[in-house]
Amino acid sequence: MTGEGAPLRIGVFGGAFDPPHLGHTALAQIAISQLGLQRLVVIPTGHAWHKARPLTDAKHRLRMAELAFSPVPGTYVDPRETLRDGPSYTVDTLRELQAENPGAQLYLLIGEDQAQRLKTWHHWERLPALAIICVAARADSSGAYGRFDDLANDIPGLTVLQMPPMAVSATDIRQRVASGKSIAPLVFEPVARYIDQHLLYRSD
């Protein structure tokens, strides 16, 4: 809980969200609780320069994100990266959010896989001046902090969020849809319904 006069605490959660799943919303809820966030900005990726496969059309990913995160208080979906031409870089998004929210403290939420690749990001070394980097670590892994010692040496204030074990991934969900399997245990019902209505991830 922040006191009177304390800076606004804003979480920034970017990703493809192709599709958003229960692991994403669990991270949002844990981050809000553990970091005392007053606002969480969910930002679907625009042009994913680091992904080999093409992403689903932004309009679908934005809408699915809205459906998935709407039950999480204080959270809203920001389309800014999908509206940019060319590659979409986190450093640019953080600069914009900092300018729009003077005096606020930004918290950048990333997963373990993203953390391992962080030093390949565009101008990654500038990120700590813009936001506190928060890594979501699975609770069933031992030595959560130890796995990020090298990263912590280069990024002051690196924070680890303890996540419960959740066997869910967007890749698995897309594969399940393509093979006609149920995704009910992995996404919120409105997201599953949207995927079905718009024939997303079908093999044909």
Q: CA–CA separation, 20 vs 88, rounded Å?
A: 19
Average pLDDT, the chain: 90
By the 10 Å C-beta count (0-12 exposed, 13-18 middle, 19+ buried), 144 is classed as: middle
> Residue 69 has what pLDDT?
98
> Residue 138 has what pLDDT?
72
Q: CA–CA separation, 181 vs 186, rounded Å?
A: 12
Domains of the chain: 9-98+111-197 (3.40.50.620)
161 contacts 34 by C-beta, under 8 angstroms: yes
Q: CA–CA separation, 46 vs 84, rounded Å?
A: 7
pTM to 2 decimal places: 0.91
- Select, from the ranges 77-81, 82-86, 150-154, the one with the highest average predicted confidence (pLDDT): 77-81
Predicted confidence (pLDDT) per residue in 5-14, tens digit: 789 999 999 9
Q: CA–CA separation, 164 vs 137, rounded Å?
A: 9
Give percent of the chain above pLDDT 90.
70
pLDDT band, residue 200 (cuts 50/70/90) = very high
Q: CA–CA separation, 44 vs 27, rounded Å?
A: 15
Cβ atoms < 10 Å from Cβ of 17:
25
Range 26-42 average pLDDT? 96
> Residue 193 has what pLDDT?
97
Q: Which two tokens stand for residue 177?
A: 């849809």
SS3 sequence of the chain: CCCCCCCCEEEEEEECCCCCCHHHHHHHHHHHHHHCCCEEEEEECCECCCCCCCCCCHHHHHHHHHHHHCCCCCEEECCHHHHCCCECCHHHHHHHHHHHCCCCEEEEEEEHHHHHCHHHCCCHHHHHHCCEEEEEEECCCCCCCHHHHHHHHHCCCCEEEEECCCCCCHHHHHHHHHCCCCCCCCCCHHHHHHHHHCCCCCCC
> Residue 139 has what pLDDT?
59
Nearest to 88 by CA among 39, 146, 130, 45: 45
